[in-house]
Structure 1
Amino acid sequence: LARWKFLLEASAELEVPWAELVELSGQICTFLQDPQDLERFLTFLLKGKHSRYFLQHDEVFRAQVVVHMRRRRYHEACKVLEGLNRYSGKLKEEMVELWNEIHYIKERDRIRRERLSPVQKFRCRKRNPPPASLCPKETKSRNYPSEVQNQLRKFAVEVTAYPNKKQREKLCKETRLKPNQIRNWFVNFRRKKVKERFRGLWDSTSGQ
């Protein structure tokens, strides 16, 4: 910490802090294991005039969200995520996961359940999509390429609409989709088929 303190004092009168100071601050956020120590460090770090520069470091930004979540300050955590103004690929993916986790926790509290099923998680994500700060327009669409759609549809019709773990892993490799994307696609496919069957049954009954 000696080097960090030296750089902090050296940057006190500067408009922009030393880049090394920002980097060391991120490393400290990574190394601090005790939640209270991390929160005290962040409080001190972000109360000064250079806070916006520190928040440009992925580890500092991540730590701020995690501290809010640990304190069950979910509204504050969401506000921080909504303010993310850069699109670092790895950070963005992690922050989307944290956004979803926040809403999973809130949903579990609401229905008083310890766990959510995959379908409940899917519905939770649909009700609480990530903000534009985490999903820029060019990455917001969830439509998959037509060849991927056709491959999944063919598998569902010709093999099974309830693929097991091994089959899902194989589909992941072939389509380059993530496991949760494969799982959600089949959930949606089955739900659509159920609706179609009910619609057909209703039409045939009402026509008599």
Structure 2
Amino acid sequence: MAQAAGAPRPGAAQPHVFKLVLLGSGSVGKSSLALRYVKDDFRSILPTVGCAFFTKVVDLGAASLKFEIWDTAGQEKYHSVCHLYFRGANAALLVYDITSKESFLKAQQWLRDLERDFSPGEVVVMLVGNKTDLGAEREVTFEEGKEFAESQHLLFMEASAKTNHQVTEVFSAIGWELLRRAEREQRPAPRGDARLALGQGPAGRAKCCAR
């Protein structure tokens, strides 16, 4: 049987399993990002009701991981329910639409919600500006997104689910950071404070801020 793209190699160790939640207001493209990443597909999607669930096993060379992706509803009436899906999360994507300043402000609100449920640095958080294919309608500049992410020690990228621009890179960056943390937790703690900011990628990799 042919090996699926991105699947672990035969005989490889069991993949690390990580829970990833997608957060953001309605119509920013959270479901589209997940669908593009998991199935390499893009189509018009009805608003998520409650939560949708996706899985994907990824081979990153040195190790493999399995993402359990929880895509939360962005409508305000589901906001309080979405907190239930935070539990046990290892990472979160805060998604906004670059053509909507309001969605950018909402992403900041979601970050505050996360901070009430988790200790600082407990989860890997990436800010994602979606819909770069609509650059002519942009209301949030790349610099605005990057500056906010850096001020909060978040990873940051812009992407387009429609054109598949940097979608894989978004999830891969999260994966590398999660694997780096898992590896660090298995090693004896070094002397002094060797913690790294969330925005810093794995050793030997550039910081993840890309258009």
Q: Larger % of strand: which?
A: 2
Structure showing greater relative contact order (alpha-carbon pairs closer than 8 Å, 6 or more residues apart): 2
Q: Which has the higher helix share?
A: 1
TM-score normalized by the length of structure 1: 0.29
Instruction: Please give the TM-score of this superposition, normalised by the length of structure 2.
Output: 0.29
